[in-house]
């Protein structure tokens, strides 16, 4: 009589174990998928005239922000890198959350590296409401980058937004 009860117990235990394993596997897969679609981190923009570089990566995409600034003290900035669900569009948004920076930027360069992608849009702001004038920066679509225009950049920068797109890959 004890043998059939043991078999029932073993079957139920095995079933519970499989369900727990399934839940764990699905939660792991969900976490991997959702974590790969966006990254948001604070970082410090530092004055002092040195060239500083901040790099963030999200899956196959790499965004770089390089700058030199003077005046004031360190400022808290936000670096956001976001990818579409299908992995064809990525945006790199680097900004001073308050919308105003008190630093004087001597130079800057921002770029997105993503195989097969082309730069689709660039928006640069001097403050919350005002875009940089087009003559203040240079966009190099072949390199997916934007840089200051030497002699024309007015040293004000509070946000950089770069968007790249790559063709969909067929399965």
Pair (26, 80) in one structural domain: no
Nearest to 40 by CA among 117, 108, 92, 111: 92
Pair (156, 89) in one structural domain: yes
Per-residue confidence (pLDDT) for residue 33, from 0 to 100: 42
pLDDT along the chain (171 residues), means of 10: 63 53 41 65 97 97 98 96 96 98 98 97 97 98 97 98 90 58
Per-residue confidence (pLDDT) for residue 109, from 0 to 100: 99
Pair (13, 96) in one structural domain: no
Has residue 170 been placed in a domain? no
Sign of the CA dihedral running 150, 152, 156, 162: negative
Per-residue confidence (pLDDT) for residue 21, from 0 to 100: 44
Nearest to 132 by CA among 148, 118, 111, 112: 148
Pair (43, 57) in one structural domain: yes
Per-residue confidence (pLDDT) for residue 2, from 0 to 100: 55
Pair (44, 22) in one structural domain: no
Has residue 171 been placed in a domain? no
Pair (23, 64) in one structural domain: no
Let me know how long the chain is.
Answer: 171
Supply the CATH number for residue 71's domain: 2.60.220
Per-residue confidence (pLDDT) for residue 8, from 0 to 100: 66
- Give the separation between CA 144 and CA 109, rounded to whole angstroms: 11
Q: Which two tokens stand for residue 26?
A: 């699905």
DSSP letters along 6-54, please?
A: HHHHHHHHHHHHHHHHHHHHHHHHHHHHHHTTEEEEEEEE--SS--EEE
Pair (31, 48) in one structural domain: no
Has residue 82 been placed in a domain? yes
Report the domain count for the chain.
2
**Which domain covers residue 25, as residue numbers?**
1-35
Pair (53, 24) in one structural domain: no
């Amino acid at each position: 009589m004890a043998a059939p009860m043991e078999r029932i117990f073993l079957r139920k235990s095995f079933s519970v174990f499989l369900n727990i394993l399934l839940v764990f596997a699905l939660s792991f897969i969900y976490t991997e998928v959702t974590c790969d679609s966006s990254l948001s981190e604070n970082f410090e923009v530092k004055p002092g005239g040195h060239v500083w570089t901040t790099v963030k990566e999200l899956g196959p995409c790499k965004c770089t922000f390089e700058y030199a600034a003077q005046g004031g003290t360190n400022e808290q900035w936000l670096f956001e890198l976001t990818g579409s669900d299908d992995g064809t569009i990525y945006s790199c948004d680097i900004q001073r959350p308050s919308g105003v920076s008190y630093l004087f930027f001597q130079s800057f360069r921002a770029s997105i590296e993503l195989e097969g992608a082309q730069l689709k849009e660039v928006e640069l702001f001097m403050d919350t409401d005002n875009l940089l004038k087009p003559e203040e920066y240079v966009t190099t679509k072949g390199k997916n980058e934007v840089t200051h225009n030497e002699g024309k950049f007015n040293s004000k920068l509070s946000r950089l937004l770069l968007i790249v797109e790559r063709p969909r890959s067929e399965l």
